[in-house]
Structure 1
Amino acid sequence: MTESVRSDPSMWEAVAVDPAVPLDRAVVRKIIDDQRRLSRRWLYPIARPLSRILVALISIVKRVLPFRWMPLTTMDRLCIWYLRRFVSPDAVELLIRHFVIETNLVNFVLRNTDASIPPVTLRPVSLAELGDHAVVEHDVNVYDVLIAIDGAPLEPQEHLDFAELDIPPIDAERRRRRLLRLDIQTALCFMNIPFSMALTMEEYRRAVHSMRFDDSFLEILAVLCDDDTFRHWKVGELSLWMDSNVDVPRMVYRHALVCEYAHAHLVKLAGGAYPRQTSVEFD
């Protein structure tokens, strides 16, 4: 009796061609390649709990010593040095790309409401531009935009302003020699440690809580565009849920994916189709 042939599909191949994923195929491949790194398989399971334990200990001690342990400038320099020497260029590019993506999203909201503040200008295209407190500014922008649109009528717009949804070329310093090439999730685990040291307790709590507004922004986009698609990507985070004792690197990664999905859909609304084939460099 002959043995029946069974299919042995690749999980990664299925993810890469999933038609429900609105992202550019080149970006999807970059994300998949990053997820398949050895550091993601072997180091991340160790780095994840280690990071949470260290950050929890830092938070406990900071309740007794509530001052800034590290200047923000030092944190910026340390993180840039770390990204240049220990994180893969693909992961670096995805990280820088997120800053641009989120700025594009909040600016879309500002341009299509009666907001009281000018558009956000944080659009880094290189590692060096992540200095000057870019990480802190990135989180603060979320709060500034939400406060700025308070009282402005949120309703479907007949003529939407889709200006500046582009992603400029990003310099991830691919030619620089690296000691390690960590994936982005493992990299975030280690970056969260100096981040928690440099920020005050209130600043750290504010930064973590900013990601709980993802669902709020998706709802705002759904209303402005009169498109329920944005609501499909809500993850059930409530802005009234006050809890900073969370898995921050995991939350950041999910936040970045949600922003990518929302941005890709805006690009589709602007151009009539999802971006699918963009030339891009890989490790």
Structure 2
Amino acid sequence: MPTGLTLADWDHNDPDPWLALMMDRSLPIDPVAKLALVRDQRSRSRQFLLPLVRPFARLAIIVAQLVHTVSPRWPHAPRFLHNSIAFGMRWFLTPDANMLILRHFHLGAQILRFIADNATPGFRPTLWPMQPRTIADVRDDLFLRHDLNIYNFLIALNAELDRRGTAIGRVDTLDFSAIEDEVALDPLPAGRGNVIDLQTAIELYTPAYAMLLTDRDFWRATNSLQFDETIGLYFARLTGEEKHLAMVVNGHPLVPHSTLRAGFRLVLHGLSTELLHGFLRELKAKDAATTGVSR
């Protein structure tokens, strides 16, 4: 455990807020992911660099959107964008930040599959595969395809529900086969330059996303974040549990947020995904303990 995050470092007269968050057990988050997130959030990069980067990043988003007001479909360079992101991840991001980014795609894919397996048994929407093991996998338009998957999943799932004449409701015997306890990743770079935290990196990537994708692609990507609440409601209907809804806070998709806060909301999206997946892991473990069967 890093210095400052153990009970040995507890100063009753000056308790560390990050130690309190690390010790807290109220959120159903994987311990490895939680340690990575806390360690990354308490870094000097986030403390000192993020406040300097954020206003310039938001100004750059405004410039990009002005450009796309005149030219909605140009520039359009998704491959260059993803190569640039992969380059930044390889040489500048912390191992914790890279792990959380790559892990997110795995968890998102598992969550969507869980919903399909239980809401529409026997039907699985055709989506891009999302199991990156290395930073190089990002180059294959991974972020853009992740956004496309969310929309295509929602459209295909609800079209299938309409075809069956059914709706998402409570399932007494849930299928947890999509939910895995471990995410397999290859070793991540940890060189001298790998010091940029996750939140600062996202603030830097967002203007590039705004400039190098079409106006429609950027709008779709930023507003996909608000589907966290939609996915949370699907969970509540399938499981009969609603306590996790208090943890999903990203704004309703019918009333889109300004794209200027997309960087911060993307961090919330990542946390919501971790919490929903952790909640499912708890339900899976409880089900296995009760039935003696792993489903």
Q: Does TM, normalized by the shorter one, top 0.5?
A: yes
Contact 1:93 1:171 (C-alpha < 8 Å) held by counterparts: no
Residue ranges of structure 1 left out of the alignment (5+ in a row): 274-283
Is 2:177 the partner of 1:171?
A: no
**1: distance between equivalents of 2:124 and 2:91?**
41
Contact 2:225 2:250 (C-alpha < 8 Å) held by counterparts: no
Is 2:139 the partner of 1:127?
A: no
| Match of residue 106 from structure 2 | 100
Is 2:126 the partner of 1:112?
A: no
Instruction: Give the superposition deviation at 1:171.
Output: 2.3
Identify which of 14, 31, 56 aligns with 1:8: 14
Q: Residue deviations 1:145-180, cap 9 Å, x none?
A: 1112213411011221111322322125235x3524
- Tell me the C-alpha RMSD between the 2 structures: 1.9
Secondary structure of the structure 2 residue equivalent to 1:247: helix
Identify which of 216, 240, 251 aligns with 2:230: 216
Amino acid at match of 1:122: M
**2: distance between equivalents of 1:195 and 1:123?**
22
Instruction: Give the superposition deviation at 1:116.
Output: 5.8
Contact 1:84 1:178 (C-alpha < 8 Å) held by counterparts: no
Contact 2:168 2:237 (C-alpha < 8 Å) held by counterparts: yes
TM alignment of 1:60-79, pairs within 5 A:
60-79=66-85
Identify which of 26, 37, 52 aligns with 1:31: 37
Contact 1:35 1:183 (C-alpha < 8 Å) held by counterparts: yes
Contact 1:40 1:186 (C-alpha < 8 Å) held by counterparts: yes
Identify which of 213, 234, 243 aligns with 1:199: 213
Secondary structure of the structure 2 residue equivalent to 1:68: coil
**1: distance between equivalents of 2:199 and 2:250?**
22
Instruction: Give the superposition deviation at 1:126.
Output: 1.1
Contact 2:113 2:124 (C-alpha < 8 Å) held by counterparts: no
Structure 1 pair 78–6 and aligned structure 2 pair: CA distance change class (3 A):
closer
Secondary structure of the structure 2 residue equivalent to 1:112: helix
Is 2:248 the partner of 1:234?
A: yes
Contact 2:228 2:250 (C-alpha < 8 Å) held by counterparts: no
Q: Residue deviations 1:235-279, cap 9 Å, x none?
A: 261111134433111000011001101100101111129xxxxxx
| Match of residue 279 from structure 1 | none
Percentage of matched positions with identical amino acids:
26
Structure 1 moving runs of 4+ over 4 Å: none
TM alignment of 1:75-94, pairs within 5 A:
75-94=81-100
**2: distance between equivalents of 1:132 and 1:77?**
8
TM alignment of 1:257-276, pairs within 5 A:
257-272=271-286
**1: distance between equivalents of 2:74 and 2:277?**
35
Is 2:166 the partner of 1:158?
A: no
Q: Residue deviations 1:11-48, cap 9 Å, x none?
A: 11110111202112232111111011111011000111
Instruction: Give the superposition deviation at 1:119.
Output: 6.3
Secondary structure of the structure 1 residue equivalent to 2:259: coil
Contact 1:87 1:184 (C-alpha < 8 Å) held by counterparts: yes
Is 2:155 the partner of 1:140?
A: no
**What TM-score do you get using the length of structure 2 for normalisation?**
0.85
Instruction: Give the superposition deviation at 1:95.
Output: 0.6
**1: distance between equivalents of 2:186 and 2:217?**
29
**1: distance between equivalents of 2:221 and 2:113?**
19
Structure 1 pair 265–120 and aligned structure 2 pair: CA distance change class (3 A):
farther
**What TM-score do you get using the length of structure 1 for normalisation?**
0.89
| Match of residue 184 from structure 1 | 198
**Greater fraction helix:** 2
Contact 1:215 1:235 (C-alpha < 8 Å) held by counterparts: yes
| Greater RCO structure (CA 8 Å; 6+ sep) | 1
**1: distance between equivalents of 2:236 and 2:188?**
37
Q: Residue deviations 1:118-153, cap 9 Å, x none?
A: 466211121111121110110111111111221341
